[in-house]
Amino acid sequence: MATLSVKPDQRPAKDRDGNERPNLSRCEFRTEKKRRCLLVSGHEGDHAMVLRSEITPPKTLAELRKDNADAFKGFKLTAEIVPDAEEIRREYKREAGPRDADQVKVDADAKRAYDAWVKAGSPAFRSIPDAPKGKFVFRYIIPPPAFDTVIMMLRRSTQTGGPVNGKRLAYTRAQHESGNVMVYYAVTDPRSDGNGDSK
């Protein structure tokens, strides 16, 4: 069946049944910084823009521990090798900043993961679920609010100031039976296709 792709403001005014089509063209309003409204023309209420200046990095683990005392009760960030029988399913460099005790710990874990990958013969794999377990895939079991923070910390380990600067971080997320989440990860040499992190 042939289809015709047209922009919203080029669509016929009526559909096949003769009903009026809504105007789906984008609102023309722009801010002083030239950010355009994301809503359709004639929308009600305030304009909506992506305000990138309001995007903030994830909290540190220390901040999360303070804000989520119950979720972090008894929690200790520990990297462990993924058992061979376990099935895993999918679910730019900057100036080095200060590194707190948690970041130093993750740095050491990332270095250990990279060394394990080299010791295993530097095997190629497409994604974490495809990687051989029992050798170089590690995991953290963490409270759900810590996921973004731990990934940020692992990425920092592969950036300027980290012990595996310039290396590739591969990771995926899965649910743990305890209600926490698991972060499976490996640190390898960059892929030849130039892709960075893989999920």
Phi, psi values for residue 156, rounded to 5°: -60, -30
Same domain for 76 and 48: no
Query: Are 148 and 181 contacting, i.e. CB atoms less than 8 angstroms apart?
Result: no
Residue 9 falls within a domain, yes or no?
A: no
**Sign of the dihedral defined by the CA atoms of residues 24, 25, 26, 27, in that order:** negative
Give the CA diameter of the chain: 69
Element (H, E) at 65: helix 61-67
Residue 1: predicted pLDDT:
38
- pTM equals 0.56
Strand partners, 188: 168
Q: Which domain holds residue 102?
A: 61-188
Element (H, E) at 119: helix 101-119
Same domain for 93 and 39: no
Residue 192: predicted pLDDT:
44
Using CA atoms, how far apart are residues 63 and 190, in angstroms rounded to an integer? 32
Same domain for 67 and 43: no
Residue 122: predicted pLDDT:
92
Same domain for 128 and 32: no
Same domain for 101 and 49: no
Residue 119: predicted pLDDT:
94
Q: Are strands 138-142 and 168-175 parallel, antiparallel or unpaired?
A: unpaired
Same domain for 137 and 89: yes
Residue 131 falls within a domain, yes or no?
A: yes
What tens-digit pLDDT sequence spans the chain (199 residues)? 343 333 444 445 555 666 665 556 778 888 887 778 877 777 777 877 765 555 678 889 999 999 988 888 888 899 999 988 887 776 544 556 678 999 999 999 999 999 999 999 999 888 888 888 888 999 999 999 999 999 999 999 998 788 999 999 999 999 998 889 999 999 999 874 434 455 5
What three-state secondary structure class fits 138? Answer: strand
What is the total count of domains within the chain? Answer: 2
Residue 115: predicted pLDDT:
96
